[in-house]
Amino acid sequence: MLTPRRVKYRKMMVGGRIARKTSVGHTLVFGKYGLKAQESKWITARQLESARRAITRSIHRGGELWIRIFPDKPITKQPPETGMGGGKGTVDHFVAVTKAGRIIFELDGISKDLAKTAFKLAAYKLPMKTAFISKEG
């Protein structure tokens, strides 16, 4: 799974509201086909890895895949049955803060139909609505 090698601060604040749309990462850069987020959500490292595995298995390890997001936000969790006032919990997992319009995956070197089916399988693993996009139109 994807996790940062080193972090400047071990624990991060939860943060306020997520902006409605992204201003960066909303166009295809590396490949011909992409999977674009339609909603703003947190994607965990496990969900991202699960979607990546679904894509690579469906394209039979052909073509090239790029992951355009990285889970770098640590999420903490208190152990069960812990009383109030014990402080902030330990880091449980990492998430990628994904805004609407952000491209999550890109593919190249395969046919459009195969890319569409691969991204459909990956979309089942993600907690948000997604859309298939291509440079062809």
Does residue 128 belong to any structural domain of this protein?
A: yes
| Model confidence at 76: pLDDT above 70 | yes
The more confidently predicted of residues 19 and 46 is 46
CATH code for the domain in which residue 124 is found = 3.90.1170.10
Q: How high is the pLDDT of residue 121?
A: 98
Is the pLDDT at 42 greater than 90? The verdict is yes
- The pLDDT of residue 18 is 65
Average pLDDT of the segment spanning 76-91: 92
Start-to-end C-alpha separation, the chain: 33
pTM (predicted TM-score): 0.91
Give the pLDDT score at 31. 96
Residue 91 lies in a domain: yes
Choice between 103 and 15, residue whose per-residue pLDDT is larger: 103
Average pLDDT over residues 63-71: 96
Specify if 42 maps to a domain. Answer: yes
Domains contained in the chain, number:
1
Please indicate, yes or no, if residue 2 is contained in any of the structural domains. no
* Full domain range(s) for residue 57: 33-79+86-134
